[in-house]
Structure 1
Amino acid sequence: MNMQIVDYTASNAAELFVTSLRETGFGVLENHPIEQSLLESIYTNWQTFFNGEEKFDYVFDKEKFDGYFPMDVSETAKGSKHRDIKEFYHVYLNGRVPQQLREEIFEYYNKTSAFAAKLLSWIEEFSPKDVAQNYSQPLSEMIRDTDKTLLRVLHYPPVTGTEEVGAVRAAAHEDINLITILPAANQPGLQVKTKEGEWMDVPCNFGNLIINIGDMLQEASSGYFPSTSHRVINPAGANSKESRISLPLFLHPRGDVVLSERYTADTYLSERLQELGMKK
């Protein structure tokens, strides 16, 4: 199975994109409106931040979950025995961000959030009627005025060989939210699990925009759109000496949005954070 790269400017882009999401849980867009110059600047500036000591002035708030998460408190994926090999910074709309990084990171946050609303409208447009009728409100409306959307600035450090045996940059997991928008990182490594149980590389040419379904949309669509397992494998050869910066934007609905008869967005998020060991 090959993952099709969809030209955002094509007349049938919406249909092709949603078909890919249905079949693989992932869609890849090229010629999208998120500027590469902005991404390049963010990658460079946040690499400098992670390389320095200032990050320790922004250690995460245990109530708000904004700020810097060091390597030793990194996530342990559900079912995994090892922490991921990564450090990261949580950016929320009303969260703490170093002053010199604020302007461009919030420019990216706001532009990509607005773009996500359009992609959600595509998903709703091409949802079968029996699926769409169970959405408690239009998908794009679920994220209107939300303060739950999370931008995670991820830093995967070079692999030194001293890592815990069995640990990887990001163990196999599914995302919690509605959809995730991820510009191709500055290093390869992202893989998705196929229906046949095999691992497939996600096209990561710089300039691609990668979108995947999260558990909340899987729940809201009664499983029609699959939240697919994915991972970031450890690099080999020359790439092992390189850092990897990644910018996933996790689109979360407002907390009171009804996902299904079983869950609101808030109750679903709370359950998953407990599973990840990030909430008592």
Structure 2
Amino acid sequence: MSLDAVVSAIAPVSMSQRENAPEAFAKELGESFKRYGFAVLADHGLDQNVLDTALERTKTFFAMSDVEKAKYKHTPEGQRGYFPFGQEIAKDAKHVDLKEFWHIARDLPEGHPYSDIMPPNISIDEIPDWHQQTYAMFEALDQLGLKVLSSIAIYLGLEENWFDDAMRDGNSILRMLHYPAQETPPPEGSVRAAEHGDINVITLLLGAEEGGLEVKDRDGLWLPITPPAGCLVVNVGDMLERLTNHILPSTLHRVVNPKPERSKFARYSTPFFAHFRPDFEIKTLETCISDENPNRYEQSISANDFLLQRLKEIGLI
């Protein structure tokens, strides 16, 4: 199959089908995930003003000096706040990624049982409404993620609300990503984001219209993913791959360095990493075990233990 033919196969799936034809939508979405580990969503219904405002605040923060930004550096155990340029490295990679980012997570009420695992968010003094505006984006993507998961549940033959309890108070993260312009050649071997699989359940990504995102197909070919304006990219994470016994695959992907004509432009994107609640036990779904697909994971693992194991592998703790 030619590259063009494969890329065109990842056609947008319209969320407008979800209300009128939920089974058909679930099948179309699920088949895209089963084939590529990725899907492209059109008509997602997110408030564009909420998205634009959050992105504007993000650009304001990353335009601050390194000294100013360093005041908000994350704590290793916290996974909240600022992660400086050149800190993250993909699992098994030899070179750091060329990016900096900020983590926003779920606000929990005082005394919540998960408070020892999920610390408070960090505010930015120089941007007084930072948390208000960016958290509005977190909440919008959190709700959209539940809708996507309800359709995945239908596809897997589960009750539509199967994921609701598993995701309740989940340790989800909105990552505000900045890939700086590359006006001088980058260090040899480093790219904006080396090939990796996501740790979480599903990822909802805005900002992929700027070129660079590539997905590794089954034959090892890298497919560029540049969705139409107004669309959102969704991919399966390692937790969902494990839960479904690899029926829904977590596919390796990367963000390559820009072409020369785009090297003077920064790239911004805002992946939302939807996570299970910390004490959810990831145990292979019975509907995903068969003679042809025997259970790969006899032992279950808590979502928090799985997360900590992977964060150590990529150098974030």
- Normalising by the residue count of structure 2, what TM-score does the alignment of the two structures yield? 0.81
1:185 positional shift: 3.7
Structure 1 residue runs of 5 or longer lacking an equivalent are none
Map of 1:163 onto structure 2: 186
1:237 has 2:240 as partner? no
Partner of 1:95: 121
* Shift, 1:231, TM fit: 0.5
Distance in 1 (CA, whole Å) between partners of 2:209 and 2:236 is: 22
Please tell me the residue identity of whatever aligns with 1:15. K
Task: State the match for 2:85 in structure 1.
Answer: 71
How big is the shift at 1:186? 5.6
For the aligned residue pairs, the C-alpha RMSD in angstroms reads 1.7
Matched, 1:267 2:305: yes
Q: 2:135 aligns with which of 88, 106, 110?
A: 106
| Residue identity matched to 1:63 | E
Give CA-to-partner distance per residue, 1:20-64, whole Å, 9 cap, x none: 011110010111111223222222221121011332221112221
Q: Is contact 2:50-2:133 (8 Å) kept?
A: yes
List 4+ stretches of structure 1 deviating above 4 A: none
Mapping for residues 196-207 of structure 1, pairs under 5 Å: 196-207=219-230
Aligned sequence identity (%): 34
What are the within-5 Å matches in structure 2 for residues 60-209 of structure 1?
60-73=74-87, 75-93=88-106, 94-98=120-124, 99-127=128-156, 129=157, 132=158, 138-146=162-170, 148-185=171-208, 187-209=210-232
Check whether the contact 1:192–1:231 (CA below 8 A) recurs between aligned residues.
yes
Count of residue pairs the alignment pairs up: 271
Structure 1 range deviating more: 156-165 or 17-26? 156-165
Kindly indicate whether the alpha-carbon contact (under 8 Å) linking 2:76 and 2:316 is maintained by their aligned counterparts in 1: no
1:248 is paired with a residue whose SS is: strand
Q: Distance in 2 between matches of 1:44 and 1:5?
A: 26
Alignment of 1:276 onto 2:314:
yes
**CA-to-aligned-CA distance 1:225-273 (integer Å, 9 cap, x gap):** 0000000011012211111111001011111101123311011111111
SS in 2 for 1:207: coil
CA contact (8 A) 2:57 2:134 kept: no
One-letter amino acid matched to 1:140: D
Cα deviation, 1:77-127, whole Å, max 9, x if unaligned, reads 112100000000011123113232112211111111011111111001111
Q: Render the CA deviation track for 1:155-209: whole Å, top value 9, x for unaligned.
A: 0000133421010000000000000011134622111111111000113333111
Contact 1:174–1:230 (CA under 8 A) maintained in structure 2: yes
2: CA distance, partners of 1:209 / 1:97: 27
Change (3 A) 1:44 1:4: same
Q: Secondary structure at the match of 2:188?
A: coil
Q: TM-score, normalised by structure 1?
A: 0.92
Which structure is larger by alpha-carbon Rg, 1 or 2? 2
User: Which residue of structure 1 aligns with residue 293 of structure 2?
Assistant: none
- Name the CA distance, whole Å, in 1 between partners of 2:102 and 2:169: 22
Q: 1:22 to 1:186 in 2, by over 3 A?
A: closer
Mapped partners of 2:25, 2:180: distance in 1: 36
User: Which deviates the most, 114-123 or 96-105?
Assistant: 96-105
Instruction: Provide the rounded CA distance (Å) in 2 between the counterparts of 1:41 and 1:152.
Output: 15
| Number of the residue aligned with 1:38 | 50
